Amino acid sequence: MYRLALNMLFGDRGKLAMLLCGLSFSALLMAQQTSVFFGIMSWTYTPVVNIRAKVWVSDPMVEQVNDAKPMRDTDLSRVRSVDGVSWAAPLHTSFLQARMPDGNFKLVTLVGLDADTFAGAPAEIVQGRIEDLRLPNTVMIDEWGAQLMSRTEVALDGAVTTRPLRPGDTFEINDVEARIVGICRVRRAFTGGPFAYTTYDRAKAYTLGARRTLSFMLVEPYAGVTPAELCDRIERGTGLRAWTSDTVIWDWSERSLARHTFWWFWRNTGIPFSFGTAVALGLFVGIAISGQTFYSFVLENLRYFAAIKAMGAGMGLLSRMLVFQALVAGLLGFGLGAGMAQAIGRVMIEKGMPPFVMFPQVLWATLAFILGISLVSALIGIVKVSRVDASTVFRG
């Protein structure tokens, strides 16, 4: 009978298409909006991902990773003296105006790394070597930033071309020259601008006038000391704030810098609200469209369900048929919608680094929701069929 139930559902291609449109549209909205939401939110803690330290230390008032409240350089030795610290390296981050070769200004994120250890250096270097940052007035920029800081050239024949910056090109930060010696590949940040990596000491030169430049300290625990333990010791010993660097959204610890950053943005920006509305809208439209289309499928077939009932099918069998039809429609709708969401995500990814992170959990939640909508529709259908009088089949 399930086979016939399936054929009943597939028999009318037009209606099936309507039904699948409704279901897949809501699956798409849910999966896509949620993925973009998580994408954007994951950008907020990009530095934690890019810099890859086990433990971060900051001023006690710092609430999230983009919020630098610089400490004194002497704090570094205080941290180094905490039991369990293998090494601690300084890190500077700031947003600065950079003057491009063509005279335009661009906001860059300056990252100053400890020149001895290069702790916090990008994981993937596309061109050049990190050690080249020891040369005077040098920076390494990220691939995406290189695109953003593209340079316009006018050839002798008057042809105008624009190309991304590359090693050898220069720009200026606070009138200090910055010569590009390498290109790295890092994850994009919420702030959007290019990253310019340099050494911690040179960062002081670029931020002339700043009294304090120690934004964070990157700390490595001794073997056998867990990051969380070390955080406790550092906080007790120095009064500074220490963070772990785990970024697994479903499983991050109490001290995770990424986690605090995520929730800071959640509380202090309109992102959750605007995405929340989009997702809620998706759910609402989804419930309305899919519920309605499945209900009308049942209504149109009510006469035949009544005939099957008259022929001796019990409500048990009819209910199973309806649930089966609804689940099949729901699964197909989910598949189409999630597939479309992934395709859109892929296109976005090809166009640059988009705010798009499709967690499997999001897919599961979408699936559960779509199947939930389908089941509710089936339930309404079952009530309808159970109320239909089998003797209506005798009426013309």
Binding-site ranges for other proteins (CB under 8 A): 1, 3-4, 7-12, 301, 303-304, 307-314, 317, 389-391, 393-396
C-alpha–C-alpha distance, residues 50 and 154, integer Å: 36
> Residue 8 or residue 205: which is nearer to other proteins going by CB?
8
**Which of residues 19 and 110 has its CB atom nearest to other proteins in the complex?**
19
Distance CA(278)–CA(286), nearest Å, equals 12
Decide: 25 and 286 in contact? Cβ < 8 Å: yes
> Which residue, 351 or 395, has its beta carbon nearer to other proteins?
395
- Which amino acid is present at 357? V
CB of 64 to other proteins, least distance (A): 57
Decide: 45 and 247 in contact? Cβ < 8 Å: yes
Q: How far apart are the first and last CA of the chain?
A: 26
Rounded Cα distance between 291 and 321, Å, is 17
CB of 48 to other proteins, least distance (A): 56
Between 189 and 323, name the residue whose CB sits nearer to other proteins. Answer: 323
Nearest approach, Cβ of 327 to other proteins (angstroms)? 18
Residue (10 or 263) nearer to other proteins, CB: 10
Question: CB of residue 387 vs other proteins: minimum separation in angstroms?
Answer: 12
Inter-residue contact 198 to 206 (CB < 8 Å)? yes
Centroid of chain to Cα 56: 22
Nearest approach, Cβ of residue 17 and other proteins (Å): 14
Give the nearest distance from C-beta 390 to other proteins in angstroms.
Answer: 4
Rounded CA-CA distance 359/361 in Å is: 5
* Cβ nearer to other proteins, comparing 223 with 311: 311
Q: Minimum distance from CB of 307 to other proteins (Å)?
A: 4
Tokens representing 228 are: 């969380």
Of 264 and 295, CB closest to other proteins: 295
Per-residue exposure over 233-264, b if at least 16 CB sit within 10 Å of its own CB, e if not: bbbebbebbbbbbbbebeebbebbbbbbbbeb
CB of 308 to other proteins, least distance (A): 6
CA atoms of 347 and 218, how far apart (whole Å): 36
Task: Say whether 339 sits in a helix, a strand or coil.
Answer: helix
Kindly state the tokens that stand for 100.
């491009």
Q: 77 is written with which tokens?
A: 């030795």
Q: Which is nearer to other proteins, 103 or 312 (CB)?
A: 312
Of 328, 337, 391, nearest to 362 by C-alpha is: 337
